[in-house]
């Protein structure tokens, strides 16, 4: 028996229409660094997105399934592209502006982008790439910035350059939106390419719609039109964790930082604009904490922060608790759209009773199924003790990569199981009530004498020390044990290295056999383009003798 329900496709177009009409008075505020931010209502954003769709189709000839790339900061113009491009049947492709030039070239060519919408301030980055991008025919420039870097390109005549505002000016605020298949591609992001070339993930209209609904549920971010969210996580990184679409769906006001991502302007915009929610990786909140510790600001409007991308040190959570800001762990990845878990403790608990739940990665929502694979391929129980590689599946989780495997040495079977589950590469345990605790990345776990040592546990314990600003731990070769941990630490200003004291501090919470013998002080922990610790760089520095290592 079939149901009697209407079969209405779940599309980004419906998010656009709903947000601009039902929530038309909600605001998008873009920080400008000047005396007054730029403000647009959802109704205005929707009307401009409609004009943009018309211009892309009529002026630039963009058709169904063609890729429109963006090289942009978090701002209202970028949001308009988020809504317009998928809704017209094309594919939004956000480019990570922090990737090396050779990776950006590879990604654009692999995706066969036809149009690039770029902020004016990023033209010095884009212009040198264009001679190597044969599929790009149009560049649309948005916002302030020197256009001179494009002069050489326009002189060749291969690439046409357009001004964003001129392109949409005078166009009708109506568009003949196509009725799209909800399973059609809507947006694509590439992984950061830590192994082999970056790999493309194509999100469907259906996956974006369902992920947006989940993000808005109380067990996830739980935002409403009474909230304002500061979207710090870049729009080029997993669709800003799904926030632009999710917030437009329910009328959440958006505060966009544009290029002002340093701790001082972020502190100023929080105190001035009073957001109630924010989202970003732990390294950003560590920088903001140092800023407001030295120059106090009122952050109390920001009652809740979603924090993910890497494990959040418990000491950082405790420090923000004292400021009246609650950090909420989440876990996900490019392949999971990204929300896979959110760490909301069960109801009815005291603050002390909540703490063990808060420091986990959180609980799986109804749309995400999970299992733990043991080293021998067997599946492990959810007992909070059995550690294995996390595998997941669900309606907003990738089952393949765009264009196949990408470059060697990557193999699809390394990431997807024979029965279609995503192998995340994360190692952890799951409690009987579904709370995930990650102990490491499979590639970062330290295999010492046949036992596993969690680099994340060591890092979190080190970063609880009052003189440690950051810490990263990696496995290094050891003749006796196979591998042993190397601890690299960034000390706070004025602190002197005392490795014996740090080792003694660790001994209060870490088993003696897991304590590092090798120590080094570094000026900064290397980070990837999305702010995660780049441990392959540390391993390379150690192998090549670039670190001053002390044995303790």
What is the DSSP track for 374-398?
A: -TTSPEEPSSSS--EEEEEE-TTS-
Q: Produce one character per residue of 252-266: b if its CB has 16 or more CB atoms within 10 Å, e if not.
A: bbbbbbbbbbebebb
Residue 102 annotated among the catalytic residues of the structure: no
Residue 335 annotated among the catalytic residues of the structure: yes
User: Any residues with CB less than 8 A from the CB of 350 and at least 6 apart, and which?
Assistant: none
* Residue recorded with tokens 């390379």: 540
Q: Which of 355, 452, 481, 483 is catalytic?
A: 452
Residue 452 annotated among the catalytic residues of the structure: yes
Pull the structure tokens for residue 244.
């632009």
* CA atoms of 205 and 508, how far apart (whole Å): 50
Contact, 59 vs 137, CB < 8 A? no
Pull the structure tokens for residue 361.
């990665």
Q: What is the gyration radius of the CA atoms in the chain, in angstroms? A: 24
Q: Which of 13, 30, 70, 191 is catalytic?
A: 191
Q: Nearest Cα to 334, choosing from 193, 438, 196, 238?
A: 238
* Residue recorded with tokens 């299992």: 371
Report phi then psi at 84, rounded to 5: -70, -50
Q: What is the H or E stretch that residue 505 is in? A: helix 499-506
User: Any residues with CB less than 8 A from the CB of 225 and at least 6 apart, and which?
Assistant: 23, 26, 250, 251, 252, 253
* Residue recorded with tokens 């600003």: 469
Q: Which of 447, 492, 548, 550 is catalytic?
A: 447
* Residue recorded with tokens 């392959």: 536
* CA atoms of 537 and 524, how far apart (whole Å): 12
Report phi then psi at 75, rounded to 5: -155, 175
Local structure of 493: helix, strand or coil: coil
| DSSP code, position 26 | -
Residue 191 annotated among the catalytic residues of the structure: yes
Q: What are the catalytic residues? A: 191, 335, 447, 452
């Amino acid at each position: 028996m079939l149901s009697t329900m209407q079969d209405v496709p779940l599309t980004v177009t419906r998010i656009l229409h709903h947000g601009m009409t039902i929530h038309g008075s909600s605001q998008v505020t873009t920080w400008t660094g000047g005396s007054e931010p730029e403000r647009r209502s959802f109704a205005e954003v929707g009307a401009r997105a409609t004009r943009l769709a018309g211009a892309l189709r009529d002026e630039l000839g963009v058709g169904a399934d063609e890729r429109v790339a963006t090289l942009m900061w978090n701002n209202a113009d970028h949001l308009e592209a988020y809504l317009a491009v998928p809704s017209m049947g094309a594919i939004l492709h956000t480019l990570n502006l922090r990737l090396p030039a050779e990776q950006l070239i590879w990604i654009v060519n692999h995706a066969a982008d036809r149009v690039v919408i770029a902020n004016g301030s990023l033209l010095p980055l884009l212009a040198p790439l264009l001679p190597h991008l044969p599929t790009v025919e149009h560049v649309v420039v948005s916002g302030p910035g020197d256009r001179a870097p494009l002069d050489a390109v326009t002189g060749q005549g291969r690439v046409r350059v357009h001004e964003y505002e001129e392109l949409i000016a005078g166009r009708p605020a109506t568009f003949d939106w196509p009725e799209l298949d909800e399973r059609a591609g809507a947006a694509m992001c590439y992984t950061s390419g830590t192994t082999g070339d970056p790999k493309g993930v194509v999100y469907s209209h259906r996956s974006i719609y369902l992920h947006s609904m989940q993000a808005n549920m109380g067990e996830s971010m739980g935002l409403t039109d009474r909230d304002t969210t500061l979207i710090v996580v870049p729009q080029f990184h997993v669709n800003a964790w799904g926030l632009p679409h999710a917030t437009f769906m329910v009328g959440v006001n958006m505060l966009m930082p544009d290029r002002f991502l340093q701790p001082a302007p972020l502190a100023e915009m929080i105190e001035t604009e009073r957001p109630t929610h924010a989202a970003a990786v732990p390294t950003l909140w560590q920088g903001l904490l140092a800023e407001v510790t030295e120059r106090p600001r009122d952050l109390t409007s920001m009652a809740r922060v979603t924090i993910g991308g890497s494990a959040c040190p418990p000491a950082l959570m405790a420090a923000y608790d004292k400021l009246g800001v609650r950090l909420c762990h989440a876990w996900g990845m490019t392949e999971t759209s990204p929300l896979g878990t959110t760490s909301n403790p069960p109801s009815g608990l005291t603050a002390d009773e909540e703490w063990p739940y808060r420091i986990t990665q959180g609980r799986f929502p109804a749309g995400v199924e999970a299992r733990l694979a043991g080293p021998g391929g067997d599946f492990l129980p959810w007992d909070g003790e059995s550690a294995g590689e996390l595998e997941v599946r669900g309606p907003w989780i990738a089952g393949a990569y765009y264009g196949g495997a990408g470059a060697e040495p990557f193999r699809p079977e390394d990431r997807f199981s024979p029965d279609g589950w995503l192998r995340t590469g994360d190692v952890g345990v799951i409690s009987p009530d579904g709370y995930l605790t990650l102990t490491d990345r499979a590639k970062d776990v330290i295999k010492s004498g046949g036992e596993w040592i969690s680099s994340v546990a060591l890092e979190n314990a080190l970063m609880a020390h009052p003189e440690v600003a950051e810490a990263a731990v990696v496995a290094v070769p050891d003749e006796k044990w196979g591998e042993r941990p190397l601890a690299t630490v960034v000390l706070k200003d004025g602190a002197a290295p005392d490795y014996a004291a740090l080792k003694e501090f660790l001994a209060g919470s870490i088993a003696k056999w897991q304590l590092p013998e090798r120590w080094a002080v570094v000026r900064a922990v290397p980070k990837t383009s999305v702010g995660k610790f780049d441990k392959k760089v540390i391993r390379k520095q150690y192998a090549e003798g670039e670190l001053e290592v002390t044995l303790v």
